[in-house]
Amino acid sequence: MTASVELLAGDLAFPEGPVAMPDGDIVVTEIARGCLTRISKGRSYRLAETGGGPNGAALGPDGALYVCNNGGFSWDNSAGLRPVARAADNSGGCIQRVDPATGAVEVLYDRCGDIPLAAPNDIVFDAHGGFWFTDHGHRSGRKLDFGAVFYARADGSRIVEAAFPLIGPNGIGLSPQGDRLYVAETSSGRVWQWDVTAPGVLARAAWHSPTGGDLLAGLPGFWRFDSLAVEEEGNVAVACLRRGGIVVISPRGDMVETIPFDDPYTTNICFGGADMRSAFVTLSSHGQLVRLSWARPGLRLNCAG
């Protein structure tokens, strides 16, 4: 673990999806427990039972939490908790809406037309009150279920597929102006980018792009990218599996810096605090949420209050 890191919560069951709430609390998903947990002034308590595998989360325009549920994993705990495969009882993924006051959970989407959602992973709201999310897909033996990027309205009235195919799309975020969408692919270790031309509409790159997007960064070496967050000035901070840490990439695709952690499942980062210079990071196989001071302010999210 890096220096000057404060442990906010431990004994979590593979935490991801940190959300900085308007009152200063942090909400995380616990994928292995199928729940949302709220961390408040050093205490953790169960906020909602989602079932399945709650993964990425975001605060919506109505004050509710919107959750990407991957349906659930099977787990290995021989050297720290880690997901290994789709759970035997996984019946598919969905987007859930959670009332943070009551813990009530409802399924908002479980398909896009005739396309079932496989494993929704991460989510970000735009300035129009809609949200972009990734569907990671699944791998089973020799079969690979390709992933996609979707856009949906928070009231449940519209969902569209915006980009396909991707190989394990994971973290997702918007540029400060909201005119560019970033998506990290876990399996390829790449960050893709698209110009956003309208809510739910992405400009497609030349025909030879496999994703329809342009490559922002594909770093040398064996990187496995997870979730991401965007800084106020536009840098993209990506959580890294295997290497364990956060890599910061400029809007030009250059590496700005890396911040190492001692957990190979460093999965998520979000920004918060009055000056947006607090970074909240999930160290998932260790079951921890930590906080550290960040060198630059993070981007204040749409709908963040």
Residues 6+ apart with CB under 8 A from 141: none
Rounded CA separation 94/71 (Å): 7
> Checking DSSP bridges between strand 111-112 and strand 65-69, what pairing results, if any?
unpaired
d(CA 59, CA 67): 9
Predicted confidence at residue 1, as pLDDT, reads 46
Domains with residue ranges and CATH for the chain? 5-293 (2.120.10.30)
Residue 144: per-residue pLDDT: 85
On the question of a cis peptide bond just before residue 165, with omega within 30 degrees of 0, the verdict is yes
Residue with tokens 């969902």: 159
The whole-number mean pLDDT for each consecutive block of 10 residues of the chain, a chain of 305 residues, reads 81 98 97 98 95 98 97 91 91 96 98 97 98 93 90 97 96 98 95 97 86 92 94 98 96 96 97 97 97 97 80
In this prediction, residue 80 carries a pLDDT of 87
| 146 burial level (CB within 10 Å; 0-12, 13-18, 19+) | middle
Supply φ then ψ for residue 72, to 5 degrees: 115, 145
Task: Please report the pLDDT score of residue 72 as a whole number.
Answer: 93
Q: How much is the pLDDT for 305?
A: 61
Residue 36 contacts residue 9 (beta carbons within 8 Å): no
Q: What pLDDT score does 2 carry?
A: 52
CB contact at 8 A, 148 and 135: yes
- State the pLDDT at residue 206: 76
Whether residue 112 contacts residue 94, with contact meaning beta carbons closer than 8 Å, is answered with no
